Amino acid sequence: MHKEFANIYDVFMESVNYEDWYKYLRKYIKKAGTVLDLGCGTGEFLVRFSKDGFSSIGVDISEVMLEIAGDKTKESKDVELYQGDIRNFRAEKPVDYVVCNFDTVNYFDKFGDLEDFLLCSYENLKENGILIFDVVTEEIFEEMFENGVFLDEKENYLTIWRYNKEGENYIINIKLFIREKENLFRNYEEVHVKTIFDLEEIANKALETGFDIVDIKNDEEFGENRFFFILKK
């Protein structure tokens, strides 16, 4: 994430229902323990896990994201933050749960990166530990984009997305206009690249890594073309 984008990430994500997403995670994360949140962003789930009595470790590649997460979690108990690469981060001790949310793995450039992520997660987990992550499929672009454009307008911002496809990658150009005063907007521009991975190939690699597959499922609440992998070591 670019530095400027990290600063307005929470505005960009304000339409996300964190509470329902968190409840979904808790269907599989029932017993209190230690949670490793890979790609933790600004720490929304770290705060929630801490309130529910979990120890939490947040990892993100963005220093600015972690600064914001630090502000949000400063009153929370048992929260640690680290800047690092989610493909190779190693916790000091094995954890009970690993989570990676909001199709973060679709930002990997190639399948080898996803393989590294799976191995990293496996090695960070205790025996019988749970990994939960989600991926989007190619159809999400038809779901979200009408005539190649996604438009989202709220009281305090307007965002316009356009995309084009290059091989297995989708290049997404994002323009975001943040209202600062009544008639004054600040403009941010981002280019994101998403890679679409085959679900069966992910499942096979998870098994090869050593995981058992608890479930692979989608939930219409989070989009028909978003699939959650729930894996057990």
Q: What is the pLDDT of residues 128-162, one digit of tens each?
A: 999 999 999 998 888 888 888 888 887 777 889 89
Number of domains into which the chain is organized: 2
Q: Is the pLDDT of residue 2 over 60?
A: no
Same domain, 91 and 20: yes
Same domain, 162 and 184: yes
Same domain, 78 and 164: no
pTM more than 0.85: yes
Same domain, 58 and 126: yes
What Cα–Cα distance (Å) separates residue 25 from each residue in 5, 110, 131, 170? 26, 26, 10, 27
Bridge partners of residue 230, in order along the sequence: 132, 215
Same domain, 51 and 112: yes
Q: Which of 133, 137, 138 is nearest to 87 (CA)?
A: 133
Q: What are phi and psi of 159, to 5 degrees?
A: -130, 140
**5-37: string of b/e by CB count within 10 Å (b at 16+)?**
bbbebebbeeeeeeeebbebbeebbeeebbbbb
Q: Give the domain range for residue 70.
A: 3-136+198-232
CATH code: domain of residue 174: 2.20.25.110
Q: Is the pLDDT of residue 190 over 70?
A: yes
The residue type found at 54 is F
Tell which wins on pLDDT, 13 or 74. Answer: 74
Q: Is the pLDDT of residue 174 over 90?
A: no
Q: What is the pLDDT of residue 195?
A: 94
Q: Is the pLDDT of residue 201 over 70?
A: yes
Q: What is the pLDDT of residues 102-118, one digit of tens each?
A: 999 999 999 999 999 99
Same domain, 55 and 24: yes
CATH code: domain of residue 9: 3.40.50.150
Q: What is the pLDDT of residues 4-60, one digit of tens each?
A: 565 566 666 666 788 999 999 999 999 999 999 999 999 999 999 999 999 999 999
